[in-house]
Amino acid sequence: MRRTVDTLAPLLGPALVVVLFAVIASQTVNAADDVKFRTAIVSVAIVVALYVFIGNSGVLSFGQISFVAVGGFAAGLMTVPSDVKPGVLPDLFPLLRDHSISNAWSLVLAAALGGVFALVVGVPLMRLSGLAAGIATFAVLGITYNILTYWTRIGPGATTLTLIPVTTDYVQATIGALAVIAIAFAYQRSRWGRQLRATREDPAAAQAAGIDVHRQRLGAFVLSGALSGFAGGLLVHLPPGSITTNQVYLDLTFLTLAMLVVGGVHSLWGAVVGALGVSLVNILLQNGENGIDVFGWNITLPQGSSLVGVSIVMLAVLLLRPGGLTGGREFGLPRSLRGRQAGPEPPAPAPEAGV
Amino acid sequence: MPEPLLVVEGLDVRYGPVSAVRGLGLEVHRGEIVGLIGPNGAGKTTTLHALMGLQAAQAGEVRLEGRPIRGLHPEAIARLGLGLVPEGRRIYADFTVAENLQLGIVGRGDRPGVEEDLAWIHELFPVVREFRDRPAGALSGGQQQQLAIARALAAGPRVLLLDEPSLGLAPKLVDTLFEALVQIRDRGVGVLLVEQRAQRTVALAARTHVLSNGAVSLTLAPSDAGDTDRLIAAYLA
Amino acid sequence: MTHVQALIDAIGLGAVYALIAVGIGLVFGVLRIINFAYGQLIMIAAYMLVFTQGWGDVIAILIAVAAAVFASLVMDRAVFRPLRNTSPATVLVATFAVSYLLQNLALLRYTYQNRPVGDSVGVLGGLNQAADIGSLHIRWITFVAIGTGAVALGTIALLLNRTSIGLQMRAAAADFHTARMVGVRANTVIMAAVAISGVLAALSAVILTVQSPQVTNTTGLSETIFVLIGVVVGGMTSLVAATLGGFLIGFANSFLGYELATQGSTSQTAVPFTSGVYLPSVIFVLVIIVLLLRPDGLFVRRGRAPVERV
């Protein structure tokens, strides 16, 4: 029994924290802030999806948000009721324009599209590492943003996609996040996950041991893409039921990447901690922009201070704890799962811009 | 005997939990060659790197002309008069020979006499003048070794550290190298020579320390150079 | 607009991007850091030009240079130095954070005072007018950009190849460890590289603000992103390769933009890549192709990897 708890702790810990977060928020938070806390839970899903690739492979990818975008827009578009769609989006391909699907199916579609897109992109790109991989994946983000913003046959283009049903409540957000966490955990405990982690530490040695680096990276990339797409589907169904391409581009890429690095890029626990932690700081500061009472003093921060504050917090964490808040450790165990020494990740300047 | 130029006492160097050098002590005086030999992994390179400030030492004292230098940055130590010819030479292959030499002069700091030193260096290693505008990578192994030493000498060091300079050199070139070391010694520079060629080192140096598992196990005199049994025993200790 | 005109304009943009590339490449060379916040140095210089309106062009430019150099040195001391031995990803995210911090601090200028975003710059404004040479209609600033680029690049080449500090910087970039061993002062070469990159940022700001006199909190951002891409495509291990990469992406951006705009479709629902609005996608696809074929850089000899910073 003890053994089972030990091995499952890295899963149960983050999962319980998310559930607790959701329960507390749903009971105590007022209606105005509701959205922000639900968004925080969805960001857990996005950051964990990010971690599945970056954390396990050690390859920095700036393109994962393009899968969130693709999944989100697809799910959003296909759930806009088909009676109003042709009116607001007349240029769409007929297949897209005249049909709509249920929320549940839209999430499946989002995951599927995210995965397929990642496969198409990943086959050529997974041969790259370091700086080249970073730039190439950034290019994918740029292409996705560009096409989504201008091709009105597949989406709203530069305008806001609205009239999306708001179906992501606390329950759905939490279940979605838990599903992503569970899959991420299962992957990193699986044979493929372990093989990929081996390539992270020493690609040459791993290859010599017979591990197919390209294939393992591709596998994680596709999984990450599917999970990101799914998270995009959750994202798009949050209030106010609309989405623009700017919301799934540079700002979100920076924010989610920073959440991951601040939490600790090498662990699932780090992804969850980073997402929730940074979200909380963000919410606190955003509320400060609307005026809050601190010990009887009314403080109103100017607009935009929340991003300043989040950046400062992130810099502070990085300067004080470069390994992230969790130092790359998983939840709970005194000994690391992988049989290495517990403790902060040793600083290791790698020859490439890897993680 | 005048004050030694370089004094090392109780040097400890650790890589994490692994101890590479334990309680090392030695001295180098003006105009003498001190040898440091031992099997691979004994800690010879670590010692030189620690003296030069390239590797942190956890304990011990290192004094250069009486000045404590442990913990200083490498560039500060170079400017105080310690020079290193590292293993593998580490010359800048894409820069010209002249530029490589010029880099050496950077480490002089305020030390006067650059003209005389350069003149002497060109006499000692004619290859430096011959190939001055060629990329250093075009030189042969032996010539690159000479350039590496020339570069270190350009800074006018009081003490010169050399890490296995004869590595990969043909026998005739080794002769040339050791002759150059004698000339450097005679000019008044203190030399600490780390080498694999035990016998030649023992014969040349005023004293040769045998480093084994991070500590000095034995000190040999030139008269021990012929005593093969003693040498082998020292290595295996 | 003719092809010749488009070509000259493209060279003009390439020149500015080349300046930015050198700034980024110098810092990468000695610090092995990709400073994502470089664009904010350009922004800071641009804002200095805003604040010194009416002080005289020369003084305004000098102040902008001083401000950019100062900001650059502060960035090094406050962010790069403490993170010297951490993973490249951590440093990159840290520079991201700095970039966002500075962008949003600048945004406060407008939200705090509750006014629309944007200030205008008047320095060297006259250069925004066009010269008519034969059938060509080219703005003076394009010539200034090309000229400034050439002079700046030439000066830096001289500095690197003919001075002691330049030699030390090159040595530090090629092998930092050995450079320190021969007496090169680490902090000196780093400060030199950081300061020069600040100067280049200011020069770029001056040229860019003539072409687009509106300064906002995102000034410098998109240029930096493109140049970063160009530098990686060109090859980060060599300053020359990086500069060529920066030039190339500026040139391509401008020239392809012209081609797409004139030859491409203008339909609202044009298929991707066939209309002017898809210029970024075209560039990005080309970038991916080049990276797949030459991951170490287009202008770098095969088999050379960046030297490890030990």
Per residue in A229-267, pLDDT (tens digit) is 999 999 999 988 889 999 999 889 988 988 998 899 999
Q: Of B86, B95, B109, which has the smallest distance from its Cβ to C181's Cβ?
A: B86
Q: How far is C184 from chain B (nearest CA, A)?
A: 6
User: Domains plus CATH for chain B?
Assistant: 6-236 (3.40.50.300)
CB contact under 8 A, C82 and A140: no
- pLDDT bin (cut points 50, 70, 90) of residue A342 is very low
More confident residue, A4 or C169: C169
Q: Identify all chain C residues contacting A354, using CB atoms and an 8 Å cutoff.
A: 87-89
Q: Counting every residue, how long is chain C?
A: 310
- pLDDT bin (cut points 50, 70, 90) of residue C268 is low
Residue A319 touches partner C, C-beta closer than 8 Å: yes
Closest residue on chain A to C88 (Cα): A353
With 80 as the cut, is the pLDDT of residue C304 above it?
A: no
Mutation pick from A121, A141, A143, A250 vs chain C, by most beta carbons of C within 10 Å, is A143
CB contact under 8 A, A142 and C281: yes
CB contact under 8 A, C180 and B54: yes
Among the ranges given (A49-58, B140-149, C108-117, C175-184), the one the predictor scored with the smallest mean pLDDT: C108-117
Q: Identify all chain C residues contacting B103, using CB atoms and an 8 Å cutoff.
A: 167-168, 171, 179, 182, 184
| A227 assigned to some structural domain | yes
CB contact under 8 A, C183 and B84: no
Which amino acid, C49?
A: L
With 50 as the cut, is the pLDDT of residue A55 above it?
A: yes
Given the structure tokens 């990469």, which residue do they identify? Answer: C245
What average pLDDT does this structure show over C269-285?
83
Residue A320 touches partner C, C-beta closer than 8 Å: no
More confident residue, C20 or C275: C20
Q: How far is C165 from chain B (nearest CA, A)?
A: 9
**Would you say A336 and A342 are in contact if contact means Cβ atoms under 8 Å apart?**
yes
Burial (CB < 10 A; 0-12, 13-18, 19+), residue C95, is: buried
Q: How far is B152 from chain C (nearest CA, A)?
A: 7
pLDDT at A129 (0 to 100): 84
For a pLDDT cut of 90, what percent of chain C falls above it? 53
Residue B3 touches partner C, C-beta closer than 8 Å: no
For a pLDDT cut of 70, what percent of chain C falls above it? 96
**Closest among C281, C268, C264, C216 to A158, alpha carbons compared:** C268
Q: Give the Cα separation of C125 and C207 in Å (integer).
A: 10
Residue A128 touches partner C, C-beta closer than 8 Å: yes
pLDDT at A346 (0 to 100): 42
CB contact under 8 A, A140 and C88: no
Q: Give the Cα separation of A156 and A162 in Å (integer).
A: 9
CB contact under 8 A, A319 and C94: yes
Q: How many domains does chain A have?
A: 1
| A35 assigned to some structural domain | yes
pLDDT at A339 (0 to 100): 45
Q: Identify all chain B residues contacting C182, using CB atoms and an 8 Å cutoff.
A: 78, 103-104, 106-107, 151-152, 155
Q: Of C164, C175, C186, which has the smallest distance from its Cβ to B106's Cβ?
A: C164
Residues within 8 A of C (CB atoms), A 182-241 only: none
Q: Identify all chain C residues contacting A350, using CB atoms and an 8 Å cutoff.
A: 87-88, 308
Give domain limits for chain C. Answer: 3-218
CB contact under 8 A, C280 and A132: no
CB contact under 8 A, B78 and C181: yes
pLDDT at B49 (0 to 100): 95
Q: Identify all chain A residues contacting C295, using CB atoms and an 8 Å cutoff.
A: 128-129, 132
Is residue B208 within a helix (H) or strand (E), and if so which, with residue range?
A: strand B207-212
Q: Give the Cα separation of C202 and C187 in Å (integer).
A: 23
3-state secondary structure of B96: strand
Which amino acid, B179?
A: E
CB contact under 8 A, B106 and C183: yes
What is the sign, positive or negative, of the torsion defined by CA atoms of C233, C238, C241, C246? positive
Return the partners of chain B (3 or more C-beta pairs < 8 Å).
C
Task: Say how many CB pairs under 8 Å bridge B and C.
Answer: 61
Alpha-helix residue ranges (DSSP H) falling in C163-220: 164-174, 176-181, 186-211
Within a 10 A sphere around the Cβ of A48, how many other Cβ atoms? 31
User: Looking at this predicted complex, what is its ipTM?
Assistant: 0.91
Q: Give the Cα separation of A73 and A81 in Å (integer).
A: 14
CB contact under 8 A, C86 and A322: yes
Query: Order of strands across the sheet with B33-37?
Result: B82-85, B159-163, B190-195, B33-37, B207-212, B215-220
Q: Give the Cα separation of A234 and A252 in Å (integer).
A: 15
pLDDT tens, residue by residue, C284-301: 999 999 999 998 888 887
Return the partners of chain C (3 or more C-beta pairs < 8 Å).
A, B
Q: How far is C78 from chain A (nearest CA, A)?
A: 9
CB contact under 8 A, C236 and A147: no
Q: What mean pLDDT value characterizes chain A?
A: 86
Given the structure tokens 């210089």, which residue do they identify? Answer: C45
Q: Of A136, A322, A350, which has the smallest distance from its Cβ to C288's Cβ?
A: A136
Q: How far is C186 from chain B (nearest CA, A)?
A: 8
Residues within 8 A of C (CB atoms), B 32-71 only: 52, 54
Using alpha carbons, list the distances in angstroms from residue A185 to A13, A115, A173, A191, B3. 11, 18, 18, 12, 66
Residue B94 touches partner C, C-beta closer than 8 Å: yes
Closest residue on chain B to C187 (Cα): B75
Residues within 8 A of C (CB atoms), A 94-123 only: none
Q: Give the Cα separation of B193 and B197 in Å (integer).
A: 11
Q: Of C170, C175, C180, which has the smallest distance from its Cβ to B75's Cβ?
A: C180
A107, HSE (Cβ side, Cα atoms, 13 Å): 19
With 80 as the cut, is the pLDDT of residue C118 above it?
A: no
Residue B103 touches partner C, C-beta closer than 8 Å: yes
Closest residue on chain A to C78 (Cα): A319
- pLDDT bin (cut points 50, 70, 90) of residue A350 is very low
Q: How far is C166 from chain A (nearest CA, A)?
A: 24
Q: Give the Cα separation of A78 and C40 in Å (integer).
A: 40
Which amino acid, A279?
A: S
pLDDT tens, residue by residue, C164-221: 999 999 999 999 999 999 999 999 999 999 999 999 999 999 999 988 888 998 999 9
What is the sign, positive or negative, of the torsion defined by CA atoms of B222, B227, B228, B232? negative
Structure tokens at B72: 């200083």
Q: Identify all chain B residues contacting C184, using CB atoms and an 8 Å cutoff.
A: 75, 103, 106-107
CB contact under 8 A, B95 and C170: yes
Query: Rounded to the nearest 5°, which phi and psi values hold at B95?
Result: -90, 160
Q: What mean pLDDT value characterizes chain C?
A: 87
What average pLDDT does this structure show over C77-105?
86
With 50 as the cut, is the pLDDT of residue A40 above it?
A: yes
pLDDT tens, residue by residue, A108-138: 999 999 999 999 999 999 999 888 888 899 9
**Would you say A38 and A173 are in contact if contact means Cβ atoms under 8 Å apart?**
yes
CB contact under 8 A, C182 and B155: yes
Radius of gyration of chain C (CA): 20
Q: Please, what is the Cα angle at B107 between B105 and B113, to 5 degrees?
A: 55
Q: Identify all chain C residues contacting B74, using CB atoms and an 8 Å cutoff.
A: 180-181
pLDDT at C306 (0 to 100): 46
With 80 as the cut, is the pLDDT of residue C117 above it?
A: no
Closest residue on chain B to C184 (Cα): B75
More confident residue, C305 or A55: A55
| A226 assigned to some structural domain | yes
Query: Rounded to the nearest 5°, which phi and psi values hold at B54?
Result: -85, -15
Q: Identify all chain B residues contacting C177, using CB atoms and an 8 Å cutoff.
A: 54, 90
| A165 assigned to some structural domain | yes
Q: Give the Cα separation of C160 and C168 in Å (integer).
A: 8
CB contact under 8 A, A132 and C295: yes
More confident residue, A117 or C269: A117
Q: Give the residue ranges of chain B where pLDDT is below 50.
A: none
Compute CA A188 distance to the chain's CA centroid, rounded to the nearest angstrom. Answer: 16
- Tell me the residue range of the domain where A183 lies: 9-247
Given the structure tokens 């283009």, which residue do they identify? Answer: A157
Using alpha carbons, list the distances in angstroms from residue A6 to A19, A55, A328, A336, B12. 20, 22, 18, 11, 40
pLDDT tens, residue by residue, C126-168: 777 777 777 777 888 888 899 999 999 999 999 999 999 999 9
Q: Identify all chain C residues contacting B92, using CB atoms and an 8 Å cutoff.
A: 171, 174-175, 178
Radius of gyration of chain A (CA): 20
Question: Between C140-162 and C3-31, two packed helices, what is the crossing angle to 10 degrees?
Answer: 30
Structure tokens at C8: 């000259």
| A277 assigned to some structural domain | no
3-state secondary structure of A157: coil
With 70 as the cut, is the pLDDT of residue C281 above it?
A: yes
Radius of gyration of chain B (CA): 17
- pLDDT bin (cut points 50, 70, 90) of residue A158 is confident
Residue A352 touches partner C, C-beta closer than 8 Å: yes
